[in-house]
């Protein structure tokens, strides 16, 4: 396992290749990507549309399987897990924040946050979900349904849900993409604050250069390849 | 500001083993998801409710009838046990045996002619009773009076209680006189109800109750007369053990009596059997409604899965396995199914009560509406299994919804084939459904036939849809854009073609099958008759008067053809020495062993018969008794040439050897018998004759009435049955059955309409989107409508054609294999039904679109 100056490696990708589609529609998206992300680091993935950053993020989260290469997260080779194994692994180790929030519309804020804990069999799922919601400033909105919350509030619920199982790795795909500037700013503050408090590794995809700038490192992709990593890590 | 909520050091990790959260969590999440409401499940719920209602109503009503029969067994039978003899009264020894066990009352039943002089003569079903009648239950008459005084002899006239039908038929009123043979009967009351009516079975004539003294005075009791004497025993201790002891003793001590024994637990076995047979038929029709509705279930679940893809992906992103995602939503779908099933059960359970209340005064049956938990449970089981069969494969697709759906709009298409686990669940549920249908079937052969046909139709309809889509895909590039668009809509991904073909094809197949059955039944009962059937049957022609009778008919109807054969009644008591009650007979021939059958003897083979195997005896045969048997006995009773058959006739037990088997043309309505004996078998035995009179052309009803009147005067003991009257009586029963079948089938057709409407409504949004885009691009309303009409009509015509053919095949199967009558290929009704179905499809399809098309596209485009 590769290690860097910052400590043990949280995520390691080696020669990852990935194509999507069939026949003539097949597109080569990731081309020999190798990347090592140390524990606790905040990494921003940037690049133009179609460069492969969301796919790279999905590959790290075990949501997409590479055609070749190694993906190792928290010391686990994801290629060795089947679909259900990956689901369980995600539930324990990876929290995901989506651009479109993806809250379950028929569940209250508290139930949404409790969901991954319930799936993991936690007996105190609702108590912990309540604590997480208070932690993101939504103590008064726990029993509201997603449709009764603003976009910013929905994203806070999504973040609380992502961090509730206390994952070692937090991934976020354009977390401010659907929010106005002010709300987006507060969401960024929240994500970084939570990540600091828990010492989680954070990987986020963004078009927002100011958001990328607050990350410990920025990885720039172009046409499925890493164009630059600043600062570079061995 | 953000206090960490990490658990304190030393506390267990939140990542508990997944098994800790099992069924409870699945159910909890399913219930949570249901908060979103039942939108999109309307057709799903209605389809299940309809099918379950049909099955629950039929089985509950059947249970009500069976329970009524069971509870009223003593009343229906007129005692705890009944011992029937044909031709003769119980002997003093037999009577003494019965009287040792309980109170004995004897009735005699026979057909006879009631002669009302100038007002005509009519066939009546006589019941001659003794002082002990009715024993159990009450005889209701108008005016109400005890049967004893009503029937007593006064001034040389006996009393009679007549069915109002007889009074109406002969224009009589209470107080009028009729004669039965040489007895004069004064009709002193109209019959309102007799407690033991059902046990006697359906008669061709109205009931006339007289005393046994009157019957004896009539002179109709001749050797060989077709009189059934039934001794009914009321036990002082009516326990099951005493009843069984009596029946066992009767078999042991009176083995030679040759009587047919019935007990209160099987008071009306034929009626009970008919209820069960008809219940099965209607249950299968109900199951058809459920299966047709299953298409609606599958469509609704398919749309549900499509709409919930992002939720499935979210759950998977949060750590739920594909299996758990499916389990949660399967639980949700089954909970929704439970709502539909509960509605169906409620309506189905209420139906017999509503029916009972509505028909209380009309039903001549001991119908006791009852809440039948076992039958309702079976109906619910049908509902759940159907829901599972049709839901599991579309739901199984949720297993493989990729989480990447949350990140990008377009994802890899679903895998084509469902995972094996869902295929296995589907197979198990289907096997369960088939198993339930077979386990509760009265006749497994018919149930199997039904399952085969239903399965075949489903598979064929899927094939038809696939072929239609493939043809549309491969069609050459057409010049007319509207036609091109219609073809593209037929085969494009997500096309409505499979669900439309399935629902419409099933609907038309049902309608068409019903139309073919209807037309065959009607034709069988009407138009086939004059050419083949006799006009009259004459029963009980005393042997001594047979020559005089022949002359009478020749004088009255010189152009008529008279066919006359000897006839006796007898029971088969053993085959190859094995007692009849121990023989496991096939469904089709079991009736031959139950009760008495008409038998005859003949030197030559009767008309309407064809020798299937063996040889007919020589005209002057004098050897051991021989018998020729219905060829169906080979399969139904396991008979073969050379086997022996023992019958009890007139109290004598005779054993004959089977010399031949005959294929019999029963439908000619000519004289024929299951058993024809060699003439020497019954040499010298007293018997009567049975005759048919066939006219080259049907006589006017008035001429027939005159013949019957003269016959009643000249031959008072001869009973004339006008075939047309008898068939009309049958026709009334058949029409009532057909109405019940149509009623149950209409539920299946309603289900197919629901599915059709549901499928079209589901496609409406996509259709609207297409229409708006086309309009935006310059297409006229006419263009859009034309392409839609072409698409719906194309799918409709292909489905309807298939439905017509499938319906004709199913109708042929029911008509020839179940009803065993001639199939009439008259497709008029079926074509009309198919045409109507196509028109309905096009109208449903265009509903909504026409109105929207007349408005500006912008408002709709904003909402799309």
On chain B, the residues whose CB falls within 8 A of the CB of A194 are: 2
Residue B540: what pLDDT?
80
On chain A, the residues whose CB falls within 8 A of the CB of B6 are: 166, 198
Using the CB atoms, write b or e for B11-25: b if 16+ within 10 Å: eeebbbebeebeeeb
Q: How far apart are CA B678 and CA B72, in angstroms?
A: 44
Inspect the interface and report whether the beta carbons of B6 and A166 lie closer than 8 Å: yes
> Other C-beta atoms within 10 Å of B286: how many?
28
Q: Among residues of chain A, what percentage have pLDDT more than 70?
A: 96
Name the token pair of A139.
């103590």
Q: Number of A:B CB contacts under 8 A?
A: 129
Inspect the interface and report whether the beta carbons of A87 and B3 lie closer than 8 Å: no
**What is the DSSP secondary-structure string of B382-443?**
HHHHHHHHHHHHHHHGGGG--GGGGT-S--PPPPSSPPHHHHHHHHHHHHHHHHHHHHT-SS
Cβ proximity of B590 and B575 under 8 Å = no
Is B19 an interface residue toward A (CB < 8 Å)?
yes
Q: How far apart are CA B124 and CA B187, in angstroms?
A: 13
Partner residue opposite A194 with nearest CB, options B2, B32, B318: B2
Partner residue opposite B314 with nearest CB, options A20, A104, A120: A104
pLDDT confidence band for B5 (50 / 70 / 90)? very low
Selected for mutation to probe chain A from B14, B38, B416 (highest A CB count within 10 Å) is: B14
Q: Are strands B675-677 and B597-601 parallel, antiparallel or unpaired?
A: parallel
Q: How far apart are CA B172 and CA B164, in angstroms?
A: 9
Residue A3: what pLDDT?
34
How far is the alpha carbon of B7 from chain A, nearest alpha carbon, in Å? 9
Inspect the interface and report whether the beta carbons of A104 and B313 lie closer than 8 Å: no
By CA distance, what is B37's nearest residue in A? Answer: A106
Inspect the interface and report whether the beta carbons of B319 and A121 lie closer than 8 Å: no
Q: How far apart are CA B372 and CA A213, in angstroms?
A: 73
On chain A, the residues whose CB falls within 8 A of the CB of B21 are: 118-121
Residue B861: what pLDDT?
54
| Angle made by CA atoms B552, B553, B554, in degrees to the nearest 5 | 90
DSSP three-state, residue A45 = strand
At residue B36, does pLDDT exceed 60? Answer: yes
At residue B717, does pLDDT exceed 60? Answer: yes
Each residue of A122-147: pLDDT tens digit? 889 899 999 999 989 899 999 998 88
Is B8 an interface residue toward A (CB < 8 Å)?
no
Partner residue opposite B319 with nearest CB, options A63, A120, A173: A120
- Cis status, amide bond into B134, omega within 30 of 0: yes
Cβ proximity of A183 and A123 under 8 Å = no
Selected for mutation to probe chain A from B318, B410, B421 (highest A CB count within 10 Å) is: B318
- Cis status, amide bond into A231, omega within 30 of 0: yes
How far is the alpha carbon of B266 from chain A, nearest alpha carbon, in Å? 58
On chain A, the residues whose CB falls within 8 A of the CB of B27 are: none
Mean pLDDT of A196-213: 88
Residue B8: what pLDDT?
38
Q: How far apart are CA B162 and CA B169, in angstroms?
A: 11
Cβ proximity of B187 and B160 under 8 Å = yes
Selected for mutation to probe chain B from A55, A121, A186 (highest B CB count within 10 Å) is: A121
Is B311 an interface residue toward A (CB < 8 Å)?
yes
Q: How far apart are CA B529 and CA B546, in angstroms?
A: 27
Selected for mutation to probe chain B from A84, A109, A174 (highest B CB count within 10 Å) is: A84
Inspect the interface and report whether the beta carbons of A63 and B403 lie closer than 8 Å: yes
Distance from chain centroid for Cα B83 = 30
Is B421 an interface residue toward A (CB < 8 Å)?
no
Q: How far apart are CA A56 and CA B47, in angstroms?
A: 46
Bridge-partner residues for A18, per DSSP? A30
| Angle made by CA atoms A166, A168, A169, in degrees to the nearest 5 | 110
By CA distance, what is A172's nearest residue in B? Answer: B407
pLDDT confidence band for B858 (50 / 70 / 90)? low
Q: How far apart are CA B544 and CA B541, in angstroms?
A: 8
By CA distance, what is A192's nearest residue in B? Answer: B2
Residue A41: what pLDDT?
92
Each residue of A155-186: pLDDT tens digit? 999 999 999 999 999 999 888 887 888 888 88
pLDDT confidence band for B411 (50 / 70 / 90)? very low
pLDDT confidence band for A232 (50 / 70 / 90)? very low
Mean pLDDT of B835-843: 87
Is B414 an interface residue toward A (CB < 8 Å)?
no
On chain A, the residues whose CB falls within 8 A of the CB of B324 are: 119
Partner residue opposite A198 with nearest CB, options B1, B6, B402: B6
Each residue of B614-669: pLDDT tens digit? 999 998 888 899 999 998 888 888 889 999 999 888 778 889 999 999 988 766 66
Using the CB atoms, write b or e for B121-144: b if 16+ within 10 Å: bbbbbbbbbbeebbbbeebebeee
Residue B414: what pLDDT?
53
How far is the alpha carbon of B330 from chain A, nearest alpha carbon, in Å? 17
Residue B667: what pLDDT?
61
Residue A219: what pLDDT?
93
Inspect the interface and report whether the beta carbons of A105 and B36 lie closer than 8 Å: yes
Each residue of A55-91: pLDDT tens digit? 899 899 888 889 999 999 989 999 998 877 888 888 8
Beta sheet of A68-73, edge-to-edge order: A27-38, A9-20, A68-73, A76-77
Q: How far apart are CA B92 and CA B88, in angstroms?
A: 12
How far is the alpha carbon of B33 from chain A, nearest alpha carbon, in Å? 5
pLDDT confidence band for B494 (50 / 70 / 90)? confident
Whole-model pTM?
Answer: 0.71
pLDDT greater at residue A28 or residue B731: A28
By CA distance, what is A138's nearest residue in B? Answer: B2
pLDDT greater at residue B863 or residue A124: A124
On chain A, the residues whose CB falls within 8 A of the CB of B3 are: 135, 197
Residue B484: what pLDDT?
80
Selected for mutation to probe chain B from A22, A85, A87, A88 (highest B CB count within 10 Å) is: A87
Partner residue opposite A119 with nearest CB, options B34, B319, B408: B319
Name the token pair of B155.
């001034």
């Amino acid at each position: 396992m590769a290690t860097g100056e910052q400590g043990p490696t949280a995520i390691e990708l080696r020669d990852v290749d990935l194509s999507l589609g069939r026949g003539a529609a097949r597109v080569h998206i990731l081309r020999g990507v190798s990347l090592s992300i140390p524990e606790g680091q905040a990494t921003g993935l940037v690049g133009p549309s179609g460069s492969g950053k969301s796919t790279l993020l999905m590959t790290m989260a075990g949501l997409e399987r590479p055609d070749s290469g190694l993906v190792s997260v928290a010391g686990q080779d994801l290629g060795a897990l089947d679909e259900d194994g990956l689901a369980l692994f995600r539930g324990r180790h990876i929290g995901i924040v989506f651009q479109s929030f993806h809250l379950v519309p028929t569940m209250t804020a508290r139930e949404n946050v409790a969901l991954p804990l319930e799936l993991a069999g936690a007996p105190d799922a609702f108590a912990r979900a309540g604590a997480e919601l208070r932690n993101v400033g939504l103590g008064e909105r726990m029993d509201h349904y997603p449709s009764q919350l603003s976009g910013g509030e929905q994203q806070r619920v999504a973040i609380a849900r992502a961090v509730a199982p206390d994952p070692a790795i937090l991934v976020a795909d354009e977390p401010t993409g659907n929010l106005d500037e002010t709300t987006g700013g507060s969401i960024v503050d929240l994500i970084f604050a939570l990540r600091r408090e828990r010492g989680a590794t954070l990987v986020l995809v963004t078009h927002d250069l100011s958001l990328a700038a607050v990350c410990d490192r920025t990885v720039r992709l172009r046409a499925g390849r890493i164009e630059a990593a600043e600062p570079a890590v061995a | 500001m953000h206090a960490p909520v990490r658990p304190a050091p030393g506390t267990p990790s939140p990542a508990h083993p997944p098994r800790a959260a099992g069924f409870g969590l699945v159910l909890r999440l399913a219930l949570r998801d249901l908060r979103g409401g039942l939108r999109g499940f309307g057709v799903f719920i209605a389809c299940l409710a309809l099918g379950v209602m049909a099955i629950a109503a039929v089985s509950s009503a059947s249970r009500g009838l069976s329970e009524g029969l069971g509870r009223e067994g003593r009343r229906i039978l007129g005692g705890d046990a009944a011992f029937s003899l044909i031709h003769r009264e119980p002997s003093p020894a037999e009577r003494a045996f019965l009287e040792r066990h309980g109170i004995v009352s004897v009735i005699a039943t026979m057909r006879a002619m009631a002669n009302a002089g100038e007002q005509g003569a009519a066939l009546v079903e006589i019941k001659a009773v003794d002082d002990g009648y009715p024993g159990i239950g009450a005889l209701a008459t108008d005016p109400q009076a005890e049967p004893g005084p009503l029937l007593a002899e006064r001034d040389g006239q006996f009393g009679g209680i007549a069915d109002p039908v007889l009074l109406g038929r002969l224009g009589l009123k209470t107080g009028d006189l009729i004669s039965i043979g040489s007895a004069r009967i004064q009709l002193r009351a109209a019959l309102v109800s007799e407690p033991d009516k059902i046990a006697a079975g359906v008669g061709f004539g109205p009931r006339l109750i007289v005393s046994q003294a009157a019957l004896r005075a009539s002179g109709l009791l001749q050797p060989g007369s077709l009189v059934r004497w039934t001794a009914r025993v009321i036990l002082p201790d009516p326990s099951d053990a005493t009843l069984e002891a009596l029946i066992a003793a009767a078999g042991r001590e009176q083995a030679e009596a040759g009587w047919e024994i019935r007990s209160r637990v099987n008071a009306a076995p034929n009626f009970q059997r008919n209820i069960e047979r008809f219940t099965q038929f209607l249950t299968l029709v109900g199951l058809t409604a459920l299966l047709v509705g299953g298409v609606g279930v599958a469509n609704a679940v398919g749309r549900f899965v499509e709409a919930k893809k992002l939720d499935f992906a979210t759950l998977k992103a949060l750590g739920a396995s594909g299996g758990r995602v499916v389990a949660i939503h399967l639980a949700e779908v089954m909970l929704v199914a439970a709502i539909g099933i509960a509605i169906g059960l409620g309506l189905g359970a209420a139906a017999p009560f509503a029916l009972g209340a509505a028909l209380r005064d009309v039903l001549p049956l001991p119908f006791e509406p009852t809440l039948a938990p076992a039958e309702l449970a079976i109906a619910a089981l049908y509902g759940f299994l159907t829901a599972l069969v049709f839901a599991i494969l579309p739901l199984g697709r949720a297993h493989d919804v990729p989480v990447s759906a949350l990140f990008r709009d377009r994802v890899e298409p679903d895998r084509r084939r469902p995972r094996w686990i869902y295929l296995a669940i589907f197979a198990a549920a289907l096997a369960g459904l088939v198993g339930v249908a077979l386990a509760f079937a009265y006749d497994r052969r018919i149930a199997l036939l039904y399952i085969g046909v239903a399965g075949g139709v489903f598979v064929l309809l899927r094939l038809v849809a696939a072929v239609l889509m493939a043809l549309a895909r491969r069609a050459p590039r057409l010049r007319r854009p509207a036609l091109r668009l219609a073809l593209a809509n037929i085969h494009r991904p997500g096309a409505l073609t499979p669900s439309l073909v399935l629902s419409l094809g099933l609907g038309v197949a049902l309608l068409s099958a019903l139309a073919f059955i209807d037309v065959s039944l009607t034709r069988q009962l009407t138009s086939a008759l004059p050419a083949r059937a006799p006009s009259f049957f004459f029963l009980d022609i005393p042997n001594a008067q047979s020559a005089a009778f022949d002359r009478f008919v020749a004088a009255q109807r010189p152009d008529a053809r008279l066919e006359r054969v000897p006839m006796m009644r007898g029971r088969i008591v053993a085959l190859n020495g094995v007692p009849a009650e121990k023989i496991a007979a096939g469904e089709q021939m079991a009736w031959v062993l139950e009760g008495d059958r008409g038998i005859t003897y003949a030197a030559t083979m009767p008309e309407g018969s064809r020798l299937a195997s063996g040889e007919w005896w020589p005209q002057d045969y004098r050897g051991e008794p021989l018998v020729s048997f219905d060829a169906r006995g080979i399969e139904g009773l396991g008979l073969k040439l050379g086997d022996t058959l023992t019958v009890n006739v007139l109290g004598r037990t005779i054993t004959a050897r089977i010399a031949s088997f005959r294929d019999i043309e029963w439908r000619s309505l000519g004289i024929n018998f299951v058993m024809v004996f060699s003439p020497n078998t019954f040499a010298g035995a007293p018997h009567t004759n049975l005759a048919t009179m066939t006219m080259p052309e049907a006589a006017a009803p008035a001429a027939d009435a005159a013949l019957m009147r003269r016959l009643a005067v000249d031959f008072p003991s001869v009973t004339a049955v006008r075939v047309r009257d008898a068939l009309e009586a049958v026709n009334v029963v058949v029409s009532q059955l057909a109405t019940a079948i149509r009623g149950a089938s209409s539920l299946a057709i309603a289900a197919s309409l629901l599915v059709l409407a549901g499928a079209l409504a589901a496609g409406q949004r996509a259709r609207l989107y297409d229409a708006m885009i086309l309009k935006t691009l310059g297409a006229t309303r006419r263009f859009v409508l034309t392409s839609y009409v072409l698409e719906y009509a194309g799918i409709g015509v292909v489905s309807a054609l298939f439905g017509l053919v499938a319906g004709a095949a199913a109708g042929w199967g029911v008509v020839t294999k179940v009803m065993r009558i001639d199939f009439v290929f008259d497709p008029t009704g079926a074509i009309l039904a198919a045409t109507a179905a196509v028109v309905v499809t096009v109208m449903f399809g265009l509903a909504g679109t026409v109105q929207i098309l007349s408005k500006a596209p912008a408002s709709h485009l904003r909402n799309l």
